[in-house]
Structure 1
Amino acid sequence: MLTQTTTRVLDPSELGAALAILESEPVTNAFVTSRVQVAGLDPWRLGGEMWGWYADGRLCSLCYSGANLVPICATPEAVRAFADRARRTGRRCSSIVGPVESATQLWRLLEPSWGPAREVRSNQPLMVTEELPHAIEPDPYVRRIRKDEMEVIMPACVAMFTEEVGISPMAGDGGLLYQARVAELIGAGRSFARIDDGKVVFKAEIGAATTQACQIQGVWVAPEFRGRGLSETGMAAVLRYALDEIAPVASLYVNDYNTAARAAYRRVGFREVGAFMSVLF
């Protein structure tokens, strides 16, 4: 029995069907789900296209194509279809990010035409927790960043991004898009830091938030303060905000080679439940 399959850009009227797929894996899909819940499927508001893979007229898998290329609940056949579409349109993204199995397949298909990558991070453990830490006391000095503290937090954000990604977010457009994103998180009350004498000692953001799950990102400790346990007490403080005010599950993903961070997150109560892969261009 033959199955009719096709791939196309989703129409805004298909929002309900898209959300049903996204919300079937609320932790894994938190980043894209949070964007779709706010912006819908209009490419201009969403900041990219949402591709759909259909079997016999039924939407089965998704792929977000914006600054990142993100396969979502994608079967191997859907990944092949998304790779074909991505090859035809050419690379417009700065990274491929997704669950390790589908992202690995997607990159294997795209590498001959899109490669080489600047860096491939093939195993980034996905960690979650639903509980506040029992053994770690939250840092009482970690708090929400105010809108008038943008100039205080930006150098720390730039330092974290450059250290993590390997390039400065201020390159290209002079940092306009990155500054807008930082300001957006501050405005939403999802940017947190400990500031001592005007200097950021610890910072983190809740980068994605839905009613089901949220994702913590941008965890950073100033180099001269590392090794003092501030990442653990700071994360415990951010986790308190996340679980009390935003969602019942908090998640993050971390590079597998960052053994110190993985150990710190485990001490705060996170456990590994899967893995992501990132391809950076």
Structure 2
Amino acid sequence: MRAGPGAGRLLGQDDLPRALAVCGRDPVASVLATTRLEQAAAVGLNRVGGLLWGYEVDGELLAVCWAGANVVPVVPDPAVREDALDAFAAFGRALGRRCSSVVGDAPSVLGLWDRLAPSWGAVREIRADQPSMVLDHEPSVAADPAVRRSTPEEYPIVLPACVRMFTEEVGYSPVVGSGGAYEARVRSLVREGRSFVRVEDGPAGPRVVFKAELGAVAGGVAQVQGVWVDPERRGERLSEAGMAAVVTATRRDVAGTVSLYANGYNERALAAYRAVGFRQVGTYATVLF
């Protein structure tokens, strides 16, 4: 049943408290958008590098969509989903595609893409089934004592591991030249204590054999991204113990709820996360351009 009639509008700085309240109805599903909105609340919406669309019924804000490098729709109430996505798609068609992905709660992402596909054109890949998982208690396996936060001095070995992970996952290298956006992002995560690594000595010197980052932290949720094990060390259960260490440190220092999402076909990774204690609470989807 559709709730309408409602209307979409471009939101501004004064709308941020209400937009954050919408995201707060499902903190795990909305953490990517909440991260941007909390940044906007701190430094100003105009400085965060994106637009915020809203959907209202009788003056009540019921859904929002962050439109920056990634488009992230947040529609907590299924009763207004169709009308809210119609409104967001109208914004998207008017502006044209400026993002690298549409990502978030699967029904909203896939519904929005159905509306935008005729005008936004071809995609590189649609990942429609990405289990969204959380862990809000102590891990079920022992933490790897060698996994710790990386240091700025280790950036020269952290960056190559991040590039290898990204290339394996997405299919192309994120590095476009020295000092690019990806490199800046990795530096920022290291500097902010959101990069975790296990470093071992190798024939060519120290190397990262396990890594993970807290890619989004907002609304009491920390989302783990970029989990990677060196191919030469896979099959040794480094991911289970490594993730247990990441979860323990994150719940102690950052947020009580740790989340992540993974591709549904990656059963090995999903089994590892379940072994650590993660449980599925929803499904994400990603449209990659």
Q: Which amino acid aligns with 2:35?
A: S
Candidates 76, 84, 90, aligned match of 1:84: 90
Secondary structure of the structure 2 residue equivalent to 1:199: strand
1:152 and 2:157 equivalent?
Answer: yes
Deviation of 1:5 (Å):
2.8
**Number of the residue aligned with 1:214:** 222
**Number of the residue aligned with 2:182:** 178
Is the CA contact 2:32–2:104 (under 8 Å) kept in the aligned structure 1? no
Aligned counterparts of 2:280 and 2:83: Cα–Cα separation in 1: 27
**Number of the residue aligned with 1:65:** 67
Deviation of 1:9 (Å):
1.8
**Number of the residue aligned with 2:267:** 259
Is the CA contact 1:32–1:64 (under 8 Å) kept in the aligned structure 2? yes
Q: Which amino acid aligns with 2:185?
A: R
Secondary structure of the structure 2 residue equivalent to 1:150: helix
Deviations 1:61-89 (A, max 9, x none): 10010011111126210001101110111
**Number of the residue aligned with 2:14:** 13
Secondary structure of the structure 1 residue equivalent to 2:138: coil
1:141 and 2:135 equivalent?
Answer: no
Q: Which amino acid aligns with 2:63?
A: S
Deviation of 1:208 (Å):
1.3
Candidates 96, 109, 116, aligned match of 2:115: 109
Alignment of 1:263-278 (within 5 A): 263-278=271-286
**Number of the residue aligned with 1:196:** 200
Deviation of 1:279 (Å):
0.5
**Unaligned 5+ runs, structure 2:** none
Is the CA contact 2:8–2:56 (under 8 Å) kept in the aligned structure 1? yes
Deviations 1:182-209 (A, max 9, x none): 1111111110000001100000011111
Deviations 1:111-155 (A, max 9, x none): 112122100101100001111223x21111111111121111000
TM-score by length of 2: 0.92
Aligned counterparts of 2:179 and 2:83: Cα–Cα separation in 1: 38
Deviation of 1:39 (Å):
2.6
1:51 and 2:56 equivalent?
Answer: no
1:123 and 2:129 equivalent?
Answer: yes
Deviation of 1:44 (Å):
3.6
State percent identity of aligned pairs.
47
Q: Which amino acid aligns with 2:13?
A: P
Cα RMSD of the aligned pairs, angstroms, is 1.6
Is the CA contact 1:98–1:278 (under 8 Å) kept in the aligned structure 2? yes
Deviations 1:70-109 (A, max 9, x none): 1112621000110111011100001111211111111111
Deviation of 1:47 (Å):
1.9
**Unaligned 5+ runs, structure 1:** none
Deviation of 1:43 (Å):
4.1
Is the CA contact 2:31–2:219 (under 8 Å) kept in the aligned structure 1? no
